[in-house]
Amino acid sequence: MTRSAPAACLLLLLPLWYGGCATAPRDPAARAEFEANHDPVEPLNRRIFGFNLFLDRILIKPVAQGYRDAVPKAVRQDLRHLLDNLHEPVVFINTLLQGRFKDAGTTGSRFIINSTIGIAGLEDVAAGHHLPRQIGDFGQTLWAWGFPGGPYLIVPVFGPTNPRDGIGLGVDTFALDPWRYVAAADNNAITISRAVLDGIDQRADSIDTLDELQKEAVDYYASFRSYFRQHREAELRNNGPTGSLPPPGLYDDPGK
């Protein structure tokens, strides 16, 4: 994939961003209901959701299950720490762009401590020094700057998002991630490999949660949409995820 390709894909989201941004009611209760049901392309979303479920059933979930069964939990935890540490520079930049300077200091300190004492991030030593992992991505930065999310979207393979977060993911991955510049010769291969490893690990971690959600839901699509939005709303407000639901996308932002 060339660098112009993702940029072109992001431009395609702009009409959906502005075209799907209907004016939200001012009344708090009406606004909450509006945001919970802002899904103007629901028929298309449901078709793509069905395709993603099929792909998950025949490929992604079996791979994630095999990974969880074959790899000891301690090793999976080390890999998660490594991927999180690789993503810290992106978090650091976004917390700065949002004016969250204390969080940026925490993130910078985490990266230095975990990259050295933590053996390249395999151990989250910083957490034991009261330096918790922060949340920071460019979709959140756009939210902090006042940009609306736009309509709920299901993207083939990648799963739920909205135009703002889709553009944010592209900026994080292809502009703000310093590892793409460090490994300029094979940056796309490294980016994809990290994304796939992250996606498998996230899916393995969420198997039980999503199985239970699907089992209990009368309408799995609507339940998944609600769960995703609650999860993302907590992230935007920097309160941390509300559960084990994977972050936006089966193959999410590399290292997140």
Count of beta carbons in the 10 Å neighbourhood of residue 50: 13
The reported pLDDT for the residue numbered 219 is: 95
* Mean residue pLDDT across the chain: 84
The reported pLDDT for the residue numbered 189 is: 81
* Average pLDDT of the residues in 131-147: 96
In DSSP notation, 213-227 reads HHHH-SSHHHHHHHH
Helices 4-19 and 163-171: crossing angle in degrees, nearest 10, is 160
* Average pLDDT of the residues in 10-26: 53
Spatial CA neighbour of 96 closest among 85, 108, 87, 86: 108
Whether residue 6 contacts residue 173, with contact meaning beta carbons closer than 8 Å, is answered with yes
128 secondary structure, DSSP code: G
